Amino acid sequence: MFVDVNPKIASMKDGKIKIEIIWYFDEFTSTGLLMDYDENKNGKFDRNESESIKKDFFNNLKRFNYFIDFTLNNIKQKINISETRLLLTTTGEGKNKRKLVTYKFILHGDYSKSKIINGDLSFYDYTIYSVLSPGGNMTFGEKIKPISSKFIKSKCQYIFSIGVQQ
């Protein structure tokens, strides 16, 4: 299973940070998920189908910490996610039409009112059944001005630094 990861620092307020993460699944996995969960075979995930995919698949990832390792100012963060959304995107046209599954969620962190946040976010599945790779640079919400940001492709690791407006 191959997954492209795209993180975005969505907001920072009162010592709390929200990171929006999108996982883009490869075509094989997406087809497999459709095969398993699109019960009425209408080519999309209805509400109850989305719920069962979340319950059976994503909720079970909790015991693997969603393959996330997250540190803020050298403090390891407890992996706490919310606002999960399952989407089915279509690419290409005609015979080349492909359906890809994406999963969107918010990761929460606590930086306890520091003036500078040094963050380290990495994705790794130690069970080796899935491979998570960076889908691109980390992005930032409008009001957030990063001091520095980089990612290490070979480790699917994002290292960032943000100044906090007091």
> Phi/psi zone of residue 66: left (φ > 0), alpha (ψ -120 to 50 degrees), beta?
left
Q: Does the footprint of another protein cover residue 20 (CB under 8 A)?
A: no
Q: Does the footprint of another protein cover residue 6 (CB under 8 A)?
A: no
Backbone angles phi, psi at 106, to 5 degrees: -110, 130
Q: Does the footprint of another protein cover residue 31 (CB under 8 A)?
A: yes
> What is the C-alpha separation between 71 and 7, in angstroms, rounded?
14
| Sign of the CA dihedral with 5 first, then 80, 76, and 147 last | positive
- Shortest Å distance, C-beta 64 to another protein: 11
Pick 65 or 112: Cβ nearer another protein: 65
> What is the C-alpha separation between 133 and 124, in angstroms, rounded?
9
Q: Does the footprint of another protein cover residue 95 (CB under 8 A)?
A: yes
Q: Does the footprint of another protein cover residue 57 (CB under 8 A)?
A: yes
- Shortest Å distance, C-beta 29 to another protein: 7
Q: Does the footprint of another protein cover residue 56 (CB under 8 A)?
A: yes
